[in-house]
Amino acid sequence: MTNPSPWRATVLTLFPEMFPGPLGVSLAGRALASGLWQIEARDIRASATDRHRSVDDTPAGGGPGMVLRADVLAAAIDAAEIGQDPSKARPRLLMSPRGRPLTQARVTELAAGPGPLIVCGRFEGVDQRVIDARGLEEVSIGDYVLSGGEIAALALIDACVRLLPGVMGKEASGTEESFSDGLLEYPQYTRPQLFEGVPIPAVLTSGDHAKVAAWRRAESEALTAARRPDLWEKAANPGTGQKTPKNKTDG
C-alpha cells in the first residue's frame, strides 16, 4: 500500500534533465511509477537574477575555475523548501568529494526519513557561506572527483530507494548484503552446477542450512579481512567504543 506521504528526493542541479535517468528503470523505476517514492529535479539557474542567468563567479583569492554563488544557491534552496512543514525538516545534503564517506548506516537513516534535499555541486565548488548558512551536510561517495554531483546524487538516491518498503522483492535481500553487518557479502553461485570445470561449492548444495550459514559467514570474514582491512578491524573488535562503519565507498 502506498504511503500517504511517499519518500521524496529533491535535487538542485544545473542539469535537471539528468533525472530520473537510471532511476527511472528497474526496481527504482517501477517503484517510482507506482508512487512508492518521488523525485523532483529543480534547476539552480531558475534562481539567478541577471539576464544571463549567472550562477557562478571567480574564486575569491584567485585560482582556476569558478565557484557556485552563495546568493543564487541559497535562493534555490529556499524556493525548494517553500511549503515544507518546519516540524518535519529534511536532511540537506551537498554531494562533495570532501564530504564524509557515505555509509550503509547513513543510507538506512536517510531511507527511514521523509527524503533529502540534495545539492549537486559543479565547477570548483560551492561558496562556503551557503554551506554554513543553510546547514548543508557534505557527503562523498568516494575518494575521486566527478564532473559534478549529479552522478553521486543518483547513487545515493538509488541506495535509499531500494530500502523503501515494497521496493525489493524479498525483505531478506537487504539484510544479507555487503555492509549490512559490517562485512562484505559472501560469494554467490547459481546454475549451471558445473561451469568451465568449476563446481558450485558442495556445502551450498548439501541442504544443511547450519553449514551453509557457517560457510557464508567464514567467506564474508575472509573477504573482508583481505579486501577491506579497515572494516575487518572494526568488525573483529566491536568493543572499541566506535560504531562499526557499514560502507566506506565514496562516489
* Whole-number pLDDT of residue 175: 60
Question: What's residue 87's pLDDT?
Answer: 76
Per cent of the chain over pLDDT 70 is 90
Residues ≥6 apart with Cβ < 8 Å to 23:
29, 32, 39, 154, 157, 158, 161
Look-up of cell digits 548506516: 105
- Our CA angle for 80, 86, 92, nearest 5°, is 50
The answer, yes or no, to whether residue 20 has pLDDT greater than 60, is yes
Q: What is the pTM of this model?
A: 0.88
Predicted local confidence at residue 247, as pLDDT: 40
When mean pLDDT is compared across 80-89, 93-102, 114-123, the lowest value belongs to 80-89
Predicted confidence band at 240 (pLDDT cuts at 50, 70, 90)?
low
| pLDDT > 90 in the chain, percent | 82
49 has pLDDT over 80: yes
Q: State the average pLDDT over residues 205-224.
A: 97
Q: What is the pLDDT of residue 178?
A: 72
Give the mean pLDDT of 41-67.
96
Average pLDDT over the chain, rounded to an integer: 91
- Determine the pLDDT at residue 4: 65
